[in-house]
Amino acid sequence: MTGHRCTECGRWLSTQLQRRWTRCYDCEATARHGINRTQWRRLWSRCWVCGERCRVDVHEIADGPARERALVEPAAWFAACNQCHLSVVHGMPLARQLAYKREHDPQWYGRVAVNRLRGRADDAVSEEEVARCVC
């Protein structure tokens, strides 16, 4: 098999990832923030939207072109059940997603970090906009 392995854990890297990093997403997030998506997901047993006990999906608040960078940024992670992830969260305004993040995960809440991931100004979504969104 040709390709590259993560320099930390030895997992095979995707072709896209090989061009940018030498570590897999989980090892990169751990190196940068001390936590990765798998560890973070295990912190949550309920959907932030409907409150159901479940195995949560991790949604990237900064998705689209910023998704790859969001995979290693805890400020951009959102816990939702599969049904809410697919039907509610994807159509939810960014300020509302950030309001859920601030309410449920204040340790990793980072409005400015999410704005920057999306290539926007620090106040593209302001704290006032987030505060107006009642969860």
Per residue in 35-53, pLDDT (tens digit) is 999 999 999 999 999 999 9
Q: How confident is the model at residue 19 (pLDDT cuts 50, 70, 90)?
A: low
Q: Give yes or no for residue 2 having a pLDDT over 60.
A: no
Residue 100 has φ and ψ, to the nearest 5°, of -60, -45
Which residues form the domain of 16?
1-34
Q: Tell me the C-alpha distance between 84 and 65, whole Å.
A: 22
pLDDT at 9: 87
The C-alpha angle with vertex 117 and arms to 94 and 28, in degrees rounded to 5, equals: 125
Per residue in 67-94, pLDDT (tens digit) is 888 999 999 999 999 999 999 998 899 9
Q: Give yes or no for residue 13 having a pLDDT over 90.
A: no
- What would the two tokens of residue 121 be? 């100004």
> Do residue 6 and residue 23 come from a single domain?
yes
Across-strand partners of 79?
A: 58
pTM score over 0.95 = no
> Do residue 117 and residue 63 come from a single domain?
yes
> Do residue 13 and residue 43 come from a single domain?
no
